[in-house]
Amino acid sequence: MDILNAIVVLSNFVLIPALAYGSQIALGALGITLIYSILRFAHFAHGDIMAFGTAFVILGTWGLQAMGVSFGPLPTALLALPLGIAVIILYLLLADRMVYRFYRKVKAKPMIFVMASLGVMFVTNGLTRLIMGPGERRFDDGERFVFSVREFREWSGLAEGLALRSSQVITVVVALIAMALLFWFLNRTKSGKSMRAYSDNEDLALLSGINPERVVIITWAIAGTLMVLAGTLYGLDKSYRPFTYFQLLLPFFAAAIVGGLGSPLGAIVGGYVIAFAEMGITYAWRRFFNHLLPDDWAPTTMLQIIPVDYKFAVTFAILVLVLIFRPTGIFRGKTL
């Protein structure tokens, strides 16, 4: 029995990766939830716009690298973030002006908005592939590890190793900062309060003199920033491929729904719930229990509940359970 080694194994393979992955999902789900509560439709172009924004961060990174600029031990991509964010905010505002604003004016049904977002999705996807191609791109540089498995073993003298990648630390730190700023904005500033008022009751907000177009612009700007952050962090932590970004749509929506659509706090909690469930259920627990149980109790099988290939099934199962037992989500989101 060796509790310390068991915890180290678990942290290395489940807890730390899930924390980083959960932060990435939370950022994406926050965007989904904000767009849903202000513009009142499910934004299907989210994953593709995220890929598009990340493409500009990557181009910026390559540009900076070519100029010989580096960010010391941190990835250069962090310096290129503002470029990606600016491009995406402009792009979203352009899309809003050309596509969504018309439907807002004629008060179209939410499904028409969703259809329109499918159109935007196609265009964005085409642009991304035109710029970056469909293949995988790497753009991470700087220090790879805060500490590696070998360093940890030498330092602690334990049998099991633990690696902490810098991309994981950066992800969690950036996500926490972004979330803190977002909550400060929503709760403390006048614009944030007007957003919440508009989300709560559109008519009442209009009566109290809130300009809906301004609220919409702020929403796109925030959602765009979150998208580029989530996309860049995911790309640094794992890898950049436009199609994988499209597939992230499912965990994003699942997280937003599980937390309660329209609730920012819910989106964050939902993101971590999805990430930890996905990692926990697809992890082979054998090594963990090998350390924890006495030798003659040691498990003979992998103790993996389902193979990693079916991680979507975990997300889906959580979604279904929430749909059946608590359709409004953990934090009592909207029901239409």
Partner 1 sequence: MTFAIRNIFLFGLMALALVFTGMYQSWPLALTIVNMALISAIMALGVNMQWGYAGIFNVGIMGFTAFGGLAAVLIAMPPVPDAWAAGGLGAIMGLMLGAATIFAAIIVYRKMAPGKLRGLSIALVIIVGYWITSMIYGPATHAISRVNPAVDGYLGGLGLPVILSWPLGGLMAAGLAFVVGKVALGLRSDYLAIATLGISEIVIAVLKFEVWLTRGVNNVSGIPRPVTRPVELQTREWVQALAERTGLSVSEMARVVELVSYAALFTIVLAILIWLAEKALNSPWGRMMRAIRDNEVAARAMGKDVTRRHLMIFILGSATCGLAGAMMVTLDGQLTPGSYEPLRFTFLIWVMVIVGGSGNNWGAVLGAFVIWFLWVQAEPAGRWFMDTITSGLGPDSDLRNHLMTQAAHTRLIMMGAALLLMLRFAPRGLIPER
- Residues of the shown chain interacting with partner 1 in the complex, contacts defined by CB under 8 A: 41-42, 44, 99, 102, 110-112, 114-116, 118-127, 129-131, 133-134, 243, 246-247, 249-250, 253-254, 257, 305, 307, 309-310, 312-313, 315-316, 319-320, 323-324, 327, 335-336
Nearer to partner 1 by C-beta: 122 or 184?
Answer: 122
Smallest gap, in angstroms, from Cβ of residue 38 to partner 1? 15
State the DSSP code for 99. Answer: I
CA distances from 160 to 44, 149, 282, 291, 299 (A): 42, 8, 20, 10, 18
Q: Which among 281, 276, 273, 274 is positioned nearest to 306, based on CA atoms?
A: 281
Nearer to partner 1 by C-beta: 73 or 126?
Answer: 126
Smallest gap, in angstroms, from Cβ of residue 149 to partner 1? 29
Nearer to partner 1 by C-beta: 114 or 186?
Answer: 114
Structure tokens at 324: 């059946």
Identify the H or E element spanning 164: strand 164-165
CA distances from 292 to 29, 279, 297, 318 (A): 36, 20, 10, 28
**Coil, helix or strand at residue 262:** coil
Smallest gap, in angstroms, from Cβ of residue 158 to partner 1? 32
Nearer to partner 1 by C-beta: 81 or 249?
Answer: 249
Smallest gap, in angstroms, from Cβ of residue 290 to partner 1? 19
Nearer to partner 1 by C-beta: 91 or 152?
Answer: 91
Nearer to partner 1 by C-beta: 47 or 161?
Answer: 47
- List Cβ neighbours of 68 (8 Å cut-off, separation of 6 or more): none
Smallest gap, in angstroms, from Cβ of residue 336 to partner 1? 6
Smallest gap, in angstroms, from Cβ of residue 123 to partner 1? 4
Whole-angstrom distance, CA of residue 52 vs CA of residue 87: 9
Smallest gap, in angstroms, from Cβ of residue 335 to partner 1? 7
- Is the separation of the CB atoms in 215 and 206 below 8 Å? no
Smallest gap, in angstroms, from Cβ of residue 152 to partner 1? 33
Task: Map 187-223 to HEC letters.
Answer: HHCHHHHHHHHHHHCHHHHHHCCCCHHHHHHHHHHHH
Q: Which among 143, 154, 13 is positioned nearest to 71, based on CA atoms?
A: 143
Nearer to partner 1 by C-beta: 67 or 130?
Answer: 130
Nearer to partner 1 by C-beta: 80 or 257?
Answer: 257
- Is the separation of the CB atoms in 80 and 64 below 8 Å? yes
